[in-house]
Amino acid sequence: MDHVISGVAKFQEEVYPNKKATFQKLANGQNPEVLFITCSDSRIDPNLVTQTGPGELFICRNAGNVVPPHSNQTGGMTASIEFAVAALGVSHIVICGHTDCGAMKGALKPEALEGLPHVKEWLGHCRCATEVVKERRGKVDHENLEEVTQENVVQQLQHLRTHPAVAAKIATGQVKLHGWVYNIGSGDVLCYDESKKTFERMSEAYAEQKLTSK
C-alpha cells in the first residue's frame, strides 16, 4: 500500500501541475467518445493499452467483461451503459476480453465456484459462450479457454444489443460496436470481424477501416 500512497503524492506534486489545464477543463464535465467495457483483472489498464488520457474513455469493469441482457431489474452495468449512450452520447462501444481470464476459467468449471455463490451466479451470463464452444467442439474444458474468451466477447456484444438505448443508436448509425481480446503476454489486440466471424490482429490499417466502415 505504501507505493500507492506515494503514487498519489507524486501525482499531486509532479503529474497534476503539468496537466493542470486539462484537469481544470475536465472538472466541469466530460465528453468521452468511447464506452470501454472490460474485465476487473488488475493486469488490464484500458488507458495504457489504448494510449488515451483522462476524459477519453468511459470505463466499466467487472469480472468477465459481462454485459447482462437488458431486463427491468436495474443493475450497475445497465445504468452505466444507458448513461454513457443516452446522456454522454458515446459513439463507440468496446467490449474487451483478455487472455488468462479467471472469469472464463470459472465459467469453464462452475462446479469449482461453490464457495463463491455471487461469482457463480454472475458468470451465468457467460454460459452461452461455453455452450457455443461445446456445440462446436463436442466438449469444452481448459484447452478451449482462448476460444471461450473470444466467444464470450461475441455473446456480450449480443447482450449489448438488447439494451434499448444501444439498439436505438445502432439503428440510426450513431453507435458502433467493437469486440476485442487483449493478449497480456504479447500486447496484441484481436478485433472481431463480424462479416468473417473471426478475430483478427489489430493493425493501424485494420483499425482505420473498422472506424470508418458502416
Domain positions in the chain are 1-28, 31-206
Give tens-digit pLDDT for 62-110.
999 999 999 988 899 999 999 999 999 999 999 999 999 999 999 999 9
Q: Cβ distance 157 to 165 under 8 Å?
A: no
pLDDT at 214: 46
Does the pTM exceed 0.75? yes
In the sheet where 34-39 sits, what is the strand order?
57-62, 34-39, 92-98, 176-182, 189-193, 198-201
List, in sequence order, every residue forming a beta bridge with 176; answer none if it has no partner: 92
In this structure, what DSSP letter does residue 86 have?
A: I
CB 82 within 8 A of CB 163: yes
* Binding-site residue set for Zn(2+): 39, 41, 98, 101
SS3 for 119?
helix
- What is the C-alpha to C-alpha distance for residues 75 and 12, in angstroms, rounded to an integer? 34
Pick the CATH number of 31-206 from 3.40.1050.10, 3.40.50.2300, 3.40.50.620, 3.20.20.70: 3.40.1050.10
* Residue-level pLDDT at 124: 96
CB count, 10 Å around CB of 212?
A: 7
pLDDT value for 210:
57
Indicate the annotated binding residues: 39, 41, 98, 101
- In the structure grid, which three cell numbers stand for residue 56, read together? 477519453
Give me the residues of the chain with pLDDT under 70, please: 204-214
Max distance between CA atoms of the chain, in angstroms, equals 58
Q: Where are the alpha helices (DSSP H) in 27-116?
A: 46-50, 76-82, 102-108
State the pairing for strand pair 92-98/176-182.
Answer: parallel
Q: Which of 92, 9, 4 is nearest to 56 (CA)?
A: 92
